[in-house]
A and B are shown apart, each in its own frame.
Chain A
Amino acid sequence: MQGFPFQPEQASTVARSVDELYLFLTALTVFFSTVIFATIFYFMIKYRRRSPGERPKAIEGSLPLEILWTAIPTLIVAVIFVWSSSLYVRNAEPPKGAMEIFVTGKQWMWKVQHPEGQREINELHVPLGRPVKLTMTSEDVIHDFFVPAFRVKKDVLPGRYTSMWFQPTQLGTFHLFCAQYCGAFHAGMIGSVIVMEPDEYERWLAGSVQGESPEAAGEKLFLQQGCGTCHLADGTGPGPSLLGVYGNQVKLTTGDSVLADDGYMRESLLAPRAKIVAGYIPIMPSFQGQLTEEQIGNLIAYLRVLGKLQPPKPKEEGKK
């Protein structure tokens, strides 16, 4: 870290653009406060009371001035609004091909699972220059995943998924903070993001304790939990086939369709009666409380694999 920095390190692709806006706003703050304070001081000295009986003439106000100093701030905030919102929109969606990492927050630690199955706690190793998308959830209260050097932050909520992404541009170890108060050791829910050369990252992956990949763990769970007894691959079971479902639109009994994403899959596991696939009856039991967040993540990873397969013809109406 630098000696006495006034700026955090810029270690991601978005950091510089956020800092440019920040600097612009700082310049604007300095400019306007200087102008206002200088004017006030000038008036206070120039128009100080010289004799106790002084009675200055009344000034009503001035419509042109009012219009002017309504228009100027309006224009300025319009510029900031367009600038900051377009930057935000641009930064909202991860680039295609981002590597996906699953993060679970719990009082007071971060649990990370890599696509190849490696798990780590309070550390996140990532390769330099590759976009990384985090899918995050919490096992208890609201947390917030904050990496100041990357200028990214997102709440981590219980009961649903949030996601964020970043693309590191600098090697090194960076702070990872929980930025949403989460109880007694909130301040201790910190860790590091370690950015490595890609080949070094590969070596780290190979060298670290090998776990199962989320997909493999998910497949095992799929069998253990008996999902396959109803969700037959050919679509003839009491539950819909899950082939070609993830990532596509699903028709519901209500006539609506819904995109089968992480959130929908999660809901279907925990509250299966909320949205019923057209042509099926609500008989699936809830897995609420029976699976850990990590297991749910693994199951969804497996469903993602199934989603890439060709759906069966007869009953399931996978969208083209």
Chain B
Amino acid sequence: MSTATLEPRVHAPRNYLNADYGWKSWLFTLDHKRIALLYLVSITFFFIIGGSFAVLMRIQLVDPQGAIVQPETYNKLFTLHGVVMIFFFLIPSIPAVLGNFLVPLMVGARDLAFPKLNLLSWYIYIVGGLFTLYSAIAGGVDTGWTFYTPYSSTYSNTQVTAVAIGVFITGFSSILTGLNFIVTIHKMRAPGLTWFRMPLFLWATYATSIIMVLGTPVLAITIFLLALEHLFHVGIFSPALGGDPLLFQHLFWFYSHPAVYIMILPAMGVVSEIIACFARKRIFGYKIVAFSSVAIAVLGFLVWGHHMFVTGQSVYAGIIFSLLSFLVAIPSAIKVFNWTATLYKGSISFDAPMLYAMGFIGLFTMGGLTGLFLASLATDVHLNGTYFVVAHFHYIMVGGAVMGYLGGIHFWWPKISGRKYPNGWAALAAAIIFIGFNLTFFPQFVLGYLGMPRRYAFYPAEFQVLNVMSSAGATVLGVGYLIPLIYLFWSMRYGPIAEPNPWGATGLEWKTPSPPPTENFTEIPVVTEEAYAYAEEEAGHE
């Protein structure tokens, strides 16, 4: 399908898209740019699936009794929504699509360090995804994406093992991608591209890769132990078998909290690139923004216990995890302040990518600040397990990460496809997504504070008004997500041809044609200046 739609006109110069044709040239490609497109198509597919589950959930909750499905079905819907969106969309989104496409271009290399591993990682991802889809068709799974024991290991009669295997397999794809990025960034930077000349997207991708390589194996071990208990009744997590039910949560969150940073750090990297370009400014406090990514990645491994404040965890453990969680807020705040300061005395234009980036800052700021309520022990006791948590993490993972992903797609689309999209439609979509998002998730903060627990298939009638508001907002949000899908597809055939550097951006990826040739650069570039050299002296770019 992608070959047909991406087929450029005959007179186009040779590039990675028209270098070869036919399904074999895609499925056996070792070109990082083509692999990025394989990921783009696959994660879009999973986004649509995960999104459809969300639509059904929001319809269900319009009625306090549950509008359309039985509770068992609703439980499967929110479980698969979470599993698909987190493991098959958000985690691979920016790293596997934009990272794959951009890391070699940004470092000035012809490909990633291990092109075959890169292709393998996509196949692993697909196999994991198919396992999960199989389970969805073969009866679904109802444990929540968190798979808490002993419910998942002993009590659930659904396809826990199939989904767990799907997630387990996909984890290896993340590990390989992270490994590839780390090696590429360390060893394949073009002459002159020192660490502190690297674009912040590379810093963010580097920090993310560290989390992927260090964290994902813990998830794999956890799932392995879960399957061991589920299939062979080895007592690990279930007290009836002599296990410890909380051990699972410790292991699970040791990966799954850092996983949130796998989603948000790359988005922060994208936003840094976009703001610099559309304000024509060097990122204010470049080094501090770069180091704050690393700080978030490191601190992210030390805060898992804040998911467990009400489990009966000791008071002292609670206090320490609370303190460490507050510490993560500091580098996050520093980033927002530096982005804001970057705008100062800039030359700001309002092209679509910039609107997405601004939307990111707005929603991420809200998500970050509401995180303080949950890092605070006393308020978390009330808010834990309620819709407040749901709202908070959607502000980070959808408001933040998806907004950043869309911003990145819009920023680099001319480079990826060689075509331009209609800026007006893109700006409209950004506005609709921003508004629809707030309408959907803001009411959920109030619902949570009022005490409505999450994962309820039906609920007391007094919560209905806010639930209807949220569902209405979700309709707007859904429309907002559909529009880019349409005009981006349209632009691949009908969009105006993009010049090599349509935004007047710095960075090596803009110094090669759009779309780039298979070998990226005819000659390996030499870097002589810092990232974001937008000031007057460097005005002579392309």
> Using a CB–CB distance below 8 Å, which chain A residues touch chain B?
1, 4-8, 17-18, 21-22, 25, 28-29, 32-33, 36-37, 39-40, 43-44, 47-50, 53-62, 65-66, 69-70, 73-74, 77-78, 80-81, 83-85, 87-89, 91-92, 107, 140-142, 144, 146, 148-149, 151-155, 157-160, 162, 175, 177-188, 190, 271
Q: List 11 A-B contacts (CB under 8 A).
A: A29-B370, A40-B340, A56-B346, A59-B344, A61-B288, A65-B337, A66-B285, A81-B376, A184-B71, A187-B456, A187-B459
Q: Which residues of B in the span 212-239 have a Cβ within 8 Å of any Cβ on A?
A: 238-239
Q: Does B21 contact A (CB under 8 A)?
A: no
Residues of A within 8 A of B362 (CB): 33, 37
> A181-B455, A184-B72 are contacts. A18–B378 as well, Cβ < 8 Å?
yes
Contact B151 A142 (CB under 8 A): yes
Contact B150 A141 (CB under 8 A): yes
Q: Does B15 contact A (CB under 8 A)?
A: no
Contact for A1 among B239, B456, B462, CB less than 8 A? B462
What's the Cα separation between A70 and B239 when bound, in Å? Answer: 45
Contact B539 A157 (CB under 8 A): no
Q: Does B315 contact A (CB under 8 A)?
A: yes
Contact for A48 among B242, B330, B336, B348, CB less than 8 A? B348
Contact A84 B150 (CB under 8 A): no
Contact A69 B373 (CB under 8 A): no
B273-316 CB mask vs A (1 if < 8 Å, else 0) is 00000011110111110000000000000000000001110010
Contact A65 B451 (CB under 8 A): no
- Of B163-171, B379-387, B491-499, the one contacting chain A is B379-387
Contact A36 B376 (CB under 8 A): no
**Residue from A28, A65, A81, A151 having most chain B Cβ neighbours under 10 A:** A81
Contact for B150 among A21, A155, A158, A177, CB less than 8 A? A158
> A55-B535, A84-B322, A153-B385 are contacts. A22–B373 as well, Cβ < 8 Å?
yes
Q: Does B251 contact A (CB under 8 A)?
A: no
Contact B284 A146 (CB under 8 A): no
Closest CB in chain A relative to B351 CB, distance in Å: 10
Contact for B326 among A43, A59, A65, A77, CB less than 8 A? A77
Contact A61 B379 (CB under 8 A): no
What's the Cα separation between A36 and B335 when bound, in Å? Answer: 12
What's the Cα separation between A45 and B533 when bound, in Å? Answer: 23
Closest CB in chain B relative to A23 CB, distance in Å: 10
Residues of B within 8 A of A144 (CB): 310, 385
> A54-B347, A57-B536 are contacts. A181–B144 as well, Cβ < 8 Å?
yes
B319-362 CB mask vs A (1 if < 8 Å, else 0) is 10011001101100110111011011111111000000010011
Contact A18 B381 (CB under 8 A): yes
> Please, which residue of chain A has its CB at the minimum distance from the CB of B381?
A153
What's the Cα separation between A105 and B423 when bound, in Å? Answer: 56
Q: Does B245 contact A (CB under 8 A)?
A: yes
Q: Does B148 contact A (CB under 8 A)?
A: yes
Contact B458 A21 (CB under 8 A): no
Q: Which residues of B in the span 167-196 have a Cβ within 8 Å of any Cβ on A?
A: none
What's the Cα separation between A21 and B378 when bound, in Å? Answer: 8
How many chain B residues touch A (Cβ–Cβ < 8 Å)?
Answer: 93
> A88-B378, A140-B155 are contacts. A49–B330 as well, Cβ < 8 Å?
no
What's the Cα separation between A194 and B200 when bound, in Å? Answer: 57
Q: Does B22 contact A (CB under 8 A)?
A: no
What's the Cα separation between A84 and B361 when bound, in Å? Answer: 27
What's the Cα separation between A40 and B71 when bound, in Å? Answer: 45
Main SS of the interface on chain A?
mixed
What's the Cα separation between A312 and B446 when bound, in Å? Answer: 59
Closest CB in chain A relative to B239 CB, distance in Å: 3
Contact A87 B378 (CB under 8 A): yes
> Please, which residue of chain B has its CB at the minimum distance from the CB of A139?
B240
> A155-B311, A159-B239 are contacts. A184–B75 as well, Cβ < 8 Å?
yes
Residues of A within 8 A of B319 (CB): 85, 88-89
Residues of A within 8 A of B338 (CB): 61, 66
What's the Cα separation between A153 and B310 when bound, in Å? Answer: 7
Contact A36 B336 (CB under 8 A): yes
Contact for A154 among B71, B310, B346, B386, CB less than 8 A? B310
The 9 closest A-B pairs by CB, nearest first: A148-B451, A159-B239, A84-B376, A88-B377, A58-B535, A179-B385, A61-B285, A43-B343, A187-B456
Closest CB in chain A relative to B257 CB, distance in Å: 18
> Please, which residue of chain A has its CB at the minimum distance from the CB of B460?
A175
> A60-B282, A61-B286 are contacts. A155–B310 as well, Cβ < 8 Å?
yes
Contact for A55 among B146, B350, B539, CB less than 8 A? B539
Contact A179 B386 (CB under 8 A): yes
Residues of A within 8 A of B382 (CB): 18, 22, 148, 151-153
Residues of A within 8 A of B343 (CB): 40, 43-44, 47
What's the Cα separation between A178 and B459 when bound, in Å? Answer: 12
Residues of A within 8 A of B431 (CB): none
Q: Does B534 contact A (CB under 8 A)?
A: yes
Contact B330 A77 (CB under 8 A): yes
What's the Cα separation between A137 and B318 when bound, in Å? Answer: 21
Q: Which residues of B in the span 509-534 have a Cβ within 8 Å of any Cβ on A?
A: 533-534
Contact B451 A8 (CB under 8 A): yes
Contact for B155 among A17, A50, A80, A107, CB less than 8 A? A107
Given contacts A57-B535, A140-B150, A157-B245, 12 further A-B contacts (CB under 8 A): A36-B337, A43-B348, A54-B347, A59-B284, A84-B376, A84-B379, A85-B378, A142-B245, A151-B382, A154-B312, A175-B460, A186-B71
What's the Cα separation between A50 and B370 when bound, in Å? Answer: 37
Q: Does B483 contact A (CB under 8 A)?
A: no
Contact for B148 among A1, A181, A188, CB less than 8 A? A181
> Please, which residue of chain B has its CB at the minimum distance from the CB of A37?
B362
Closest CB in chain B relative to A225 CB, distance in Å: 20
Contact for A141 among B155, B350, B358, B384, CB less than 8 A? B155
Contact A36 B340 (CB under 8 A): yes
Residues of A within 8 A of B350 (CB): 44, 48
> A153-B384, A157-B245, A179-B385 are contacts. A142–B148 as well, Cβ < 8 Å?
yes
Contact A80 B460 (CB under 8 A): no
What's the Cα separation between A44 and B94 when bound, in Å? Answer: 27
What's the Cα separation between A179 and B386 when bound, in Å? Answer: 7
Closest CB in chain B relative to A280 CB, distance in Å: 23
What's the Cα separation between A292 and B365 when bound, in Å? Answer: 49
What's the Cα separation between A10 and B536 when bound, in Å? Answer: 61
Closest CB in chain B relative to A149 CB, distance in Å: 8
Q: Does B465 contact A (CB under 8 A)?
A: yes
What's the Cα separation between A43 and B281 when bound, in Å? Answer: 13
Contact A188 B458 (CB under 8 A): yes
Contact B315 A88 (CB under 8 A): yes
> A66-B288, A77-B330 are contacts. A55–B280 as well, Cβ < 8 Å?
yes
**Residue from B146, B286, B346, B457 having most chain A Cβ neighbours under 10 A:** B346
Residues of B within 8 A of A58 (CB): 281-282, 533-535
Contact B379 A55 (CB under 8 A): no
> A22-B449, A43-B340 are contacts. A32–B535 as well, Cβ < 8 Å?
no
